Homo-oligomer: A and B are copies of this chain.
Amino acid sequence: MDEIQKLTALFKEFPGIGERQAKRFVYFVLSKDYDYKERLVNALNAAKESVHQCGECFRFFSGKEDVCFNCKNPQADKTMLLIVERDSDYEAISRSRNYFGKYFVLGGSVPILEKRPEDVVRLRELIKQVENKVAEGLQEIIIACSLTPSGEHTDETVRRILRPIAEKHNLKISSLGRGLSTGTELEYSDNATIKYALESRQ
């Protein structure tokens, strides 16, 4: 396997990238000047060294601290903890500027037939964080999973895992509200969406 094939194989592991696009990436990188390649290598090295996983919310962030800016932020609302599947979900919610509490990133979703969900997402770490945050005033846990089959299964799994500690400490567990999302055409909506949209009418 030569250098072009080795790099192609590594790009092929990128999410959503097949053989052909991986090869195009390789030719793109090769055709760029030395400086771009240098900057890409440096950025990857810097990411390797200076990006850490937050010790509380487990998202990736640039910095040398143990916990990320939001987890350290004294103004964050300590009564709420929002659980997302992935870093990109954290980004979407953070970017929307509608939530100002604490976060927890599970690190993925729970596949429907998974026997040992605690091996694929951070459930043990979640329980530990919830325990810590109860002492700091936690009152509500919001599960913010995608409305896909694996997202719904993740929601159920997290609810089941958290039930004992929630009951013990009288924590409310909620999930994101369902209804019409931007762009939804009524005519093509499924029954569940119509049901929730009617129930949550306002």
Interface size class of A (residues with CB under 8 A): 35 or more
Copies of this protein in the complex: 4
Q: Is A165 an interface residue (CB 8 A)?
A: no
Given contacts A3-B46, A6-B46, A198-B98, contact A187 B146 (CB under 8 A): yes
Q: Give chain B residues whose Cβ lies under 8 Å from the Cβ of A24.
A: 15-16, 88
Query: Dominant SS at the A interface?
Result: helix
**A186 lies within 8 A of B27 (CB):** no
**B16 lies within 8 A of A21 (CB):** yes
A7 to B47, CA, bound (A): 8
**B44 lies within 8 A of A37 (CB):** yes
Q: Is A119 an interface residue (CB 8 A)?
A: no
Shortest C-beta distance, A11 to chain B (Å), equals 8
Other CB < 8 Å A-B pairs besides A41-B48, A176-B198, 16 of them?
A: A3-B62, A7-B44, A10-B40, A23-B91, A26-B47, A88-B187, A89-B187, A92-B188, A96-B195, A98-B194, A147-B183, A177-B196, A177-B199, A177-B200, A179-B181, A181-B193
Q: List 11 A-B contacts (CB under 8 A).
A: A3-B62, A5-B62, A23-B91, A37-B44, A88-B187, A89-B187, A91-B187, A98-B195, A146-B187, A177-B180, A177-B200
Interfacial residues, chain A to chain B (CB-CB below 8 A): 2-7, 10, 13-16, 20-21, 23-32, 34, 36-41, 43-48, 50-51, 60-63, 84-89, 91-93, 95-99, 107, 142, 144-148, 151, 174-202
